[in-house]
Amino acid sequence: MKAAPLAHISIRNLYKVFGDDPERAIELDQQGKTRGEIQEETGCVVAVSDANVDIEKGETFVVMGLSGSGKSTLIRMINRLFDISGGEVLINDRDVAKMNREELRQLRMTGASMVFQHFGLFPHRTVIDNAAYGLEVQGVSKRERRERGAEALKMVGLEGWESRFPRELSGGMQQRVGLARALATDSEILLMDEAFSALDPLIRREMQDHLIELQRELHKTIVFITHDLNEAMRLGDRIAVMRDGKIDQIGTAEDILTRPANEYVAAFIQDVDITRVLTAANIMRRPRSTVSVSDGPHVAMRKLEEVHETELYVIDRQGKLAGVVRDQDLATAARRGDTSCQNALSTDYPQAEPDTSLADLFNIATGYTVPIAVVSEGRLVGVIPRVSLLESMSTAEGGVSGNAE
């Protein structure tokens, strides 16, 4: 039996208690006392209670909750900005609680970089010097850190801005510098605490898009903290929902939308814009049939008849999507005596990627009768008939069920 992959970050029975008697507070918590009862009896606040989660390498793991839920405290224990009151945090199977001062310093400089809500840029330093600051702390030579800083700035779309100062940049651009600073150290882990919360909605959306694109290329392990459900649903491979220091549910966006763990989670997701969360991958299905580019028009028409369709997608010899054929064009090709369907091939069809949102799919489908082709790296991975699109929209408009399972 193949062993499960080792989690990049493992959090086990983790507690953070603020106050003078954390042991007693943890004991009362384990007895089932509420946060308020514990605070009244001990004067301690249980900020994180018995948290358990494994975060895989290359995963974007989002922790969300309202103010006071414990999400920011949780992320600050991963690199031990906050000491651990109980339980453990393992990074690559190493216990963070047992690291000495030098090991912690190395973890924060090269292992787990942090991006905060407030940009934290030095106003008297240029953009490139801000981006390379972490490398300067590491003792990297000026030449190397400027090269790596410039490369990181290019990644975040700030090439050409190296010699400017933070005051000359917009809020979104300043946050990009903060992200570049984290990327320049080439840490395996990015800890992002409400990183986009201070930005206006349009710039925030742009930063989300940029992070998604960067993650496709870099495959970092990202722990992202937010109080915004739509942001969590958009960014997270998986999401943890926190309340009063406890994790109520961990799952994919679809898990949480369709199977909320309790009434709190169901109420929390009530106003989410499902059309921005559900994607082509959620509603697509396998094509009932396809045509090979080498098929003759008679063979192609026979395939259309078998599945009672008037249009089918065509796959080339390399397995890539070549186009679509329609019954009328095939009939014309057959009358001409064509031996392949190449001359009947059309490239006028709706196309989307697996992560295209439901809202965007409706715009793509406008004016077409053929199902949307869902394409990944040139290959047809699924189709979305109009009926599936309409059913999904009906579900979205009806809202998410409030029944907890």
CATH class belonging to 282-394 = alpha beta
In the chain, which segments carry CATH 3.40.50.300? 101-236
Sheet hosting strand 112-115, strand order edge to edge: 112-115, 189-193, 221-226, 60-64, 238-243, 246-251
| pLDDT the model gives residue 4 | 47
Give the residue carrying structure tokens 């994607």. 279
* Residue 94: φ, ψ to 5°: -105, 135
| pLDDT the model gives residue 204 | 83
| pLDDT the model gives residue 100 | 94
| pLDDT the model gives residue 335 | 93
Contact call for residues 90 and 51 (beta carbons, < 8 A)? no
First and final CA of the chain: distance in angstroms? 32
Return the CATH number of the domain spanning residue range 101-236: 3.40.50.300
| pLDDT the model gives residue 398 | 53
DSSP state of 279: B
| pLDDT the model gives residue 402 | 38
Low-confidence ranges of the chain (pLDDT < 50): 1-4, 399-405
The pTM of the full predicted model, rounded to 2 decimals, is 0.73
In the chain, which segments carry CATH 3.10.580.10? 282-394
| pLDDT the model gives residue 229 | 84
Residue 289: partners with Cβ closer than 8 Å, 6 or more residues away: 303, 306, 307, 309, 312
| pLDDT the model gives residue 199 | 79
Provide the angle, in degrees to the nearest 10, between the axes of the packed helices 22-30 and 35-42.
140
DSSP state of 110: I
Classify the C-alpha dihedral 33-35-41-47 as positive or negative. Answer: positive
Provide the CA 339 distance to its chain's centre, in angstroms.
47
Long-range contacts (CB closer than 8 Å, 24 or more residues apart) made by 337-341: 338/296, 338/297, 339/296, 340/293, 340/294, 340/295, 340/296, 340/297, 341/291, 341/293, 341/295, 341/296, 341/297, 341/300, 341/314
CB atoms within 10 A of CB 170: 11
Of residues 26, 21, 11, 28, the one with CA closest to residue 76: 11
Which tokens sit at 309?
């369709």
